[in-house]
Structure 1
Amino acid sequence: MEVLSRTDQTQMNALRKLAIFFVAPIGFWGGAHAGETLYNGIVLPDQWPPAYDRHPKQSQMLVPYLENPPAVIPIDVGRQLLVDDFLIESTTLQRTFHTAEYHPANPVIRPDKPWEFGSGGWFAAPFSGGAWDDSSDQLFKMWYTGGYLHWSCLATSKDGIAWDKPAFDIKNGTNVVIRPIDPKATRSVDTTSVWLDHDAKNPSERFKYFGTESGHTDRWAMVYRTSPDGIHWTDALTKERIHGDRTTVFYNPFRKVWVLSERISWGGRARRYSEHADPKKLIDEGVLRDPKKGVNWIAGEMIDPRNPVEELGRKPELYNLDAAPYESLMIGAFTIWTGPSNDECGKQSLQKRNDILLGFSRDGFHWDRPDRRHFISSTWDKKNWRYGNVQSVATGCLVVGDKLYFYFSGRSKPGLGMYDTETKKTEGWDKDAATGLAILRRDGFASMDAGKRGGTLTTRPLSFKGSHLFVNLDSTEGELRAEVLDEEGKVIAPFTKENCEPVVGDQTHAAVRWQDDLSKVSGQPVRFRFHLKNGDLYAFWVSPTASGASNGYVSGGGPGFAGPTDTVGRPQ
């Protein structure tokens, strides 16, 4: 696991603030707010989505809610992650960002079935696709592309590591669930996004598929389908031409909207944003029909990492952006391309250098990207299965106990024939893809750390309806205590540091206790002050239950969760 130093963070913050001078937002949030108020107190502007007059690569995206946070921040939804200063008024702790660790069993899904060879190459990997824990039958499920951008397959697992490829009745004897639209085409599907819709009113629409497919129009079309079980899908319910093939869709449950993350050319590969509460209408009324419905959104930026092989490198571009809800915010998987070009890849038998970086959003549109290191990366090692072109899964992570499971795809070095058989041998360079797993501590994106001398973290004014405080903490050789302050910064008895039971050990779900619960201060603005020695603080939250249910979102779900949010906590 890699960490980002305090010095690196300081330099990042300086660059972010410098970017303000290069950005002229239209209708910037410095004026009056009259738009939608979000779950966390952020008030959106009248013009939504907002349009910005900025060069896509020369300046970082401005994040208005970090510059002007709400006076009082409600924290009833989810664990409160410490990835930025939104919640923090002052601190002497040091923030550390963490990256994922690769599972030793990788690749956990590899192309080894005859139907996973198609269009001249092996492929068993999500090109976004979807990964879910389906509580209806207690199985992990992965929708991935089989054959080179050929058709959609479904794998299942009991533990998220060992995967099966069941035979379904769509293409007899195979795990294919969506067949190609144009069987004669060399490519019939490019990108897919598969979502389990817990709020679907019609059971037949429980699963939703968005795919960029060929054979419908004279160019790539975004196709929308639904399914009751993720196996049997409707024909295209709607299809609409789009600007670019690597286009995805995600759901923002905080605002209950579906978002089209559309590939466009805007200073290179970039994204355009449009939204709608109805997924079908999102496609039907797409930006190609009415450009006013969307805005140019985000692109690769000048401080994104460069290709380590200088002669092959290009300026960073945003190849794809997938996003998913986790606890109290949206997690963005930014796939950053740094070359080579397609022509160079073909001539030199290379893969594109694509790597995954993370971003965090509290309004679903503006992204804070404080850590510009690779969260999941290509290796550029000729013998490694993820040599190049690493891509994210559309639906974020799975919550498995105290860990987060991130699935991703990677492609091997062209010409090696890593998955070849005597009769099926890959031709070309953009193929030979498999699926990997990377693991992170629950809430483990960033921690606020203290050494032997200790330190404090004081929050901004917060409000909540619960009565039980919990933390995610590693204090194996130290301890954490907390106190509650009023709006003027005075300690509220009996919630003092001295009355607080010390929290010790490495726990992703630890109760912070005084003699009384927090019901006395529920509903009024208060601050928490955490006193930490020899430890790392990852998150805190206030729960209405003693079990510590956060009521935050759990991305693709996980064992024990019956719906999209944590209503369980940890049984007592």
Structure 2
Amino acid sequence: MTDWQQEHVETGSYPPVTYLLIDDAHIRHMEGVQRILCKPQKHPEPVLKAEKPWEGEGVWMHNGWLYDHDERVFKLWYHCHDPSFFAEYPDLGWNYRRAYAVSADAQTWEKPDLGVVAWEGSTRNNLVAFPPAGGDGPNANVFRNPCHGDSNCRYMSLSSERHPREPGERAITWPGGPDEQSNPNGRGFYLCDSPDGFTWTRRPRIIMSHALCMDGPTVHGFDADLNAWIVWWRPRIQLPRGPKFRTMGISIASDLEKMPYPQMALVPDDGDAPGTEFDRCASVKVSGGYVALVRTLFPEYNNRDQEKRDFRHIHCQLAFSRDARTWSRPAGRQSMLTVGEPGSWDEKLITPANPIQVGDDIYILYQAGQGETQRGIGLATLKRDRWAAIEPVHIHGVLRTQPVCWANRQLRINADAAGGSIRAELQDVRGTPIAEFTMDDCDPFTGDSLDHPMSWGGKSQLSDDIVGSAYREGTPGRVMSIRFDIDRARLFSFSC
């Protein structure tokens, strides 16, 4: 008998299922309550900034970070502004090199001497080695290879880049640009491999054409449940007699080298101000679905007069999906992550990387700054599952769930009721309160907890008579709904 059979099948008690309250999928009725987004707490200063001579005026990142569970550290691949790169490769039109840092807490970063790239005659630096490239470059997205039987491919990267054209390689052209023969650069979306994250090798063929998608793809990662990779793209849209138009598409495929053309996932609609565009997405898997931070360009930024563009009007909205294909923006499309106040270090150009959850904490690294090159990398944090909450419009309100399947014998909540209280009542599928588990029987929760067990008359475990066991039927059984009474409190999720 397997451990799973012993622990769950034979006992009838399974791991709890967590229900986030980001959308209405599990909500039957709300009265006197509203959904709000929970903005992450931003660290007041950049956690990584230009300090070394080769880092020039500023540092920035796209989506080049991960958490190494074996080593228990965060690893970061970032760009540093070094004009000497342009002097070395003028045709690439690029002023950035790539570097590496490591941290135990995502707040204090070490820049180790890697000894792999010579800069002004010395290899005592944290620069990583890669084939010469401009654009986002080979560490724009860095992720672990989930099937790394080949030790040379332990780390992978996907990015849009341009590089000195190789023999037989074709160039990407555009209206009014150089013809194919005179363009010195190859261009497209490439995969790179590395055994250690420090020395990178570009694979020879593009996996997506730069003529069909704009720069800035974001690799969500490999989804074990789907057995597929999920990648965000910006399908190329050129308005007649106008500039490009930014929207978000998504590709889902089992093979990164056989990515289908993206299908539309997020596009501005009638609920957005005219001129709104979506520039990039950073996403993470959560219980029951996927959360994305959508970098949203508001009309004030999209002024067609480049000199009048206002880089403060770039915020990140929250999007949610249950299947990674159909997305919504809940809570009235509020901004989730915003630029700082005028004069702060992150007053412009905010761009997040994929959120990473470690234990009960969610870490969001983002790039921002005060100009095109004067940039740094910041940190924002959330507690587990606290993306959105249900709270009273005024003082008191009620939420009733759809009937949900109970995997075990407890109801646990993620809630902040430090200034009020939350009570719960169990109901059968017809909405009839279950004896001894009514609102009057419930012990009010008045604290702040990520995982509080609700109780009724001191009892938090439901008996076999209520939910049954592996060898005994229960009444009403494993399907019940919950009525929450919320008084000056916030409910983020529940599990049962």
What residue in structure 2 maps to residue 218 of structure 1?
171
Matched, 1:406 2:364: yes
Matched, 1:480 2:448: no
Q: Report if the CA contact (8 A) 2:98-2:139 is conserved.
A: no
What residue in structure 2 maps to residue 133 of structure 1?
67
Distance in 2, Cα, partners of 1:350 & 1:233 = 37
Aligned to 1:465, the other structure's residue is in SS state coil
2:484 to 530, 535, 544: 530
2:132 to 169, 181, 203: 181
2:388 to 446, 450, 453: 446
What residue in structure 1 maps to residue 6 of structure 2?
none
Deviation at 1:348, TM superposition (A): 6.2
Aligned to 1:245, the other structure's residue is in SS state strand
TM-score by length of 2: 0.75
Distance in 2, Cα, partners of 1:304 & 1:129 = 30
Unaligned runs of 5+ in 1: 1-74, 288-293, 306-313, 414-429, 543-572
Aligned to 1:280, the other structure's residue is in SS state helix
Aligned to 1:357, the other structure's residue is in SS state strand
Aligned residue-pair number = 423
What residue in structure 2 maps to residue 261 of structure 1?
232
The one-letter code matched in structure 1 to 2:157 is: Y
Aligned to 1:375, the other structure's residue is in SS state strand
Q: Report if the CA contact (8 A) 2:36-2:391 is conserved.
A: no
Instruction: Please show how residues 36-55 of structure 1 align to structure 2 within 5 Å.
Output: none
Q: Runs of 4+ in structure 1 displaced over 6 angstroms?
A: none
Distance in 1, Cα, partners of 2:142 & 2:380 = 20
The one-letter code matched in structure 2 to 1:125 is: W
| 1:327-375 deviation line (CA, Å, top 9, x unaligned) | 3321111111235469844x46964743211111111111111232322
Aligned to 1:331, the other structure's residue is in SS state strand
Matched, 1:273 2:250: yes
1:466 to 408, 433, 445: 408
Deviation at 1:534, TM superposition (A): 2.9
**Cα distance, 1:404–1:166 mapped onto 2, change above 3 Å:** same
The one-letter code matched in structure 2 to 1:174 is: N
The one-letter code matched in structure 2 to 1:517 is: Q
Q: Report if the CA contact (8 A) 1:150-1:188 is conserved.
A: no
Q: Who wins on radius of gyration, i.e. which is larger?
A: 2
**Cα distance, 1:400–1:435 mapped onto 2, change above 3 Å:** farther
Q: Report if the CA contact (8 A) 2:33-2:399 is conserved.
A: no
The one-letter code matched in structure 2 to 1:272 is: G
1:82 to 21, 26, 47: 21
What residue in structure 2 maps to residue 558 of structure 1?
none
The one-letter code matched in structure 2 to 1:530 is: F
Q: Report if the CA contact (8 A) 1:335-1:354 is conserved.
A: yes
Q: Report if the CA contact (8 A) 1:248-1:262 is conserved.
A: yes
Matched, 1:300 2:268: yes
What residue in structure 1 maps to residue 397 of structure 2?
455
Deviation at 1:476, TM superposition (A): 1.6
Deviation at 1:246, TM superposition (A): 1.9
Q: Report if the CA contact (8 A) 2:131-2:201 is conserved.
A: no
Aligned to 2:336, the other structure's residue is in SS state coil
**Cα distance, 1:376–1:451 mapped onto 2, change above 3 Å:** closer
Range with bigger deviation, 512-521 or 150-159: 512-521
What residue in structure 2 maps to residue 372 of structure 1?
333
What residue in structure 2 maps to residue 150 of structure 1?
96
Deviation at 1:518, TM superposition (A): 4.2
Distance in 1, Cα, partners of 2:381 & 2:492 = 16
Deviation at 1:89, TM superposition (A): 0.5
Instruction: Please show how residues 115-126 of structure 1 align to structure 2 within 5 Å.
Output: 115-117=54-56, 122-126=57-61
**Cα distance, 1:280–1:123 mapped onto 2, change above 3 Å:** farther
What residue in structure 1 maps to residue 472 of structure 2?
none
Q: Report if the CA contact (8 A) 1:149-1:189 is conserved.
A: no
Distance in 1, Cα, partners of 2:277 & 2:29 = 35
Aligned to 2:202, the other structure's residue is in SS state coil
**Cα distance, 1:301–1:180 mapped onto 2, change above 3 Å:** farther
The one-letter code matched in structure 2 to 1:463 is: C
What residue in structure 2 maps to residue 321 of structure 1?
281
Deviation at 1:392, TM superposition (A): 1.5
**Cα distance, 1:245–1:502 mapped onto 2, change above 3 Å:** same
Matched, 1:100 2:39: yes
| 1:261-301 deviation line (CA, Å, top 9, x unaligned) | 2212346111233220122332xxx43xxxxxx43332233
What residue in structure 2 maps to residue 245 of structure 1?
215
The one-letter code matched in structure 2 to 1:109 is: L
Distance in 2, Cα, partners of 1:150 & 1:479 = 53
Aligned to 2:74, the other structure's residue is in SS state strand
1:354 to 301, 314, 321: 314
Distance in 1, Cα, partners of 2:482 & 2:309 = 56
Q: Report if the CA contact (8 A) 2:229-2:255 is conserved.
A: yes
Q: CA RMSD in A?
A: 3.2
Deviation at 1:198, TM superposition (A): 5.6
Instruction: Please show how residues 56-67 of structure 1 align to structure 2 within 5 Å.
Output: none
What residue in structure 2 maps to residue 23 of structure 1?
none
Aligned to 1:476, the other structure's residue is in SS state coil
TM-score by length of 1: 0.66
Matched, 1:111 2:82: no
**Cα distance, 1:493–1:377 mapped onto 2, change above 3 Å:** same
| 1:474-510 deviation line (CA, Å, top 9, x unaligned) | 1123332323222222233454434443322111221
What residue in structure 2 maps to residue 208 of structure 1?
156
Deviation at 1:459, TM superposition (A): 0.9
Deviation at 1:231, TM superposition (A): 3.6
**Cα distance, 1:86–1:154 mapped onto 2, change above 3 Å:** same
**Cα distance, 1:198–1:366 mapped onto 2, change above 3 Å:** same
The one-letter code matched in structure 2 to 1:358 is: L
Distance in 1, Cα, partners of 2:195 & 2:455 = 45
**Cα distance, 1:436–1:192 mapped onto 2, change above 3 Å:** same
Distance in 1, Cα, partners of 2:365 & 2:401 = 33
Aligned to 2:215, the other structure's residue is in SS state coil
Q: Report if the CA contact (8 A) 1:334-1:356 is conserved.
A: yes
Matched, 1:396 2:355: yes
Distance in 1, Cα, partners of 2:430 & 2:141 = 48
Distance in 1, Cα, partners of 2:16 & 2:141 = 26
The one-letter code matched in structure 2 to 1:194 is: V
Deviation at 1:177, TM superposition (A): 2.8
Distance in 1, Cα, partners of 2:389 & 2:225 = 24
Q: Report if the CA contact (8 A) 2:142-2:155 is conserved.
A: yes
2:141 to 193, 196, 205: 193
Deviation at 1:116, TM superposition (A): 2.1
The one-letter code matched in structure 1 to 2:445 is: V
Q: Report if the CA contact (8 A) 2:130-2:199 is conserved.
A: no
